[in-house]
């Protein structure tokens, strides 16, 4: 498995644990009111599970499984994929940080980083998408 796929999948597993923990705290808070302010973490819980877990797992597996190119660089130029990993994770943390610092523009900046990360992933993987048998 390529190193970048390992990074994407390990990061996805970390986000799964973080999202699951936040979700468990939110559910516990529903049954035994611990802190009413805990509900402000709901956007971070959703962000960790949707973008952190689901999207990164899909991108990690996609980078691993897409057809290889030639021998010298079997996965092509990996720089856009590295940029994708950094931008997506930066975006996740910016959106999650908005929960703590209450700056709405962080969500916009985070979503912009996530979108740029997905575009970088598509740009880096586009040449590896081929019809069957070619």
pLDDT of residue 134: 62
Mean pLDDT by 10 residues, the chain (134 residues): 94 98 94 89 95 97 84 82 98 94 94 98 89 68
**Cα 53 to Cα 24: distance, rounded to the nearest angstrom:** 16
Measured between alpha carbons, how far is residue 52 from residues 1, 4, 105 in Å?
20, 15, 20
Q: Is the whole-model pTM more than 0.75?
A: yes
SS3 50: helix
Reduced 3-state DSSP string for 118-131: HHHHHHHHHHHCCC
Would you kindly state where each structural domain of the chain is located, as residue ranges? 3-128
pLDDT of residue 127: 84
């Amino acid at each position: 498995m390529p190193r970048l796929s390992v990074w994407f999948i390990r990061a996805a597993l970390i986000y799964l644990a973080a999202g699951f923990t936040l979700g468990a705290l939110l559910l516990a808070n529903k049954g035994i009111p611990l802190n009413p302010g805990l509900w402000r973490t709901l956007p971070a819980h959703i962000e960790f599970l949707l973008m952190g877990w689901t999207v990164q797992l899909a991108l990690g597996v996609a980078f691993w499984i897409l057809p290889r190119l030639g021998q010298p660089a079997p996965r092509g130029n990996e720089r856009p994929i590295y940029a994708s990993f950094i931008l997506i994770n930066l975006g996740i943390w910016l959106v999650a940080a908005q929960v703590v610092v209450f700056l709405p523009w962080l969500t916009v900046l985070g979503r912009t980083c996530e979108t740029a990360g997905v575009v970088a992933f598509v740009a880096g993987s586009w040449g590896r998408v081929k019809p069957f048998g070619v």
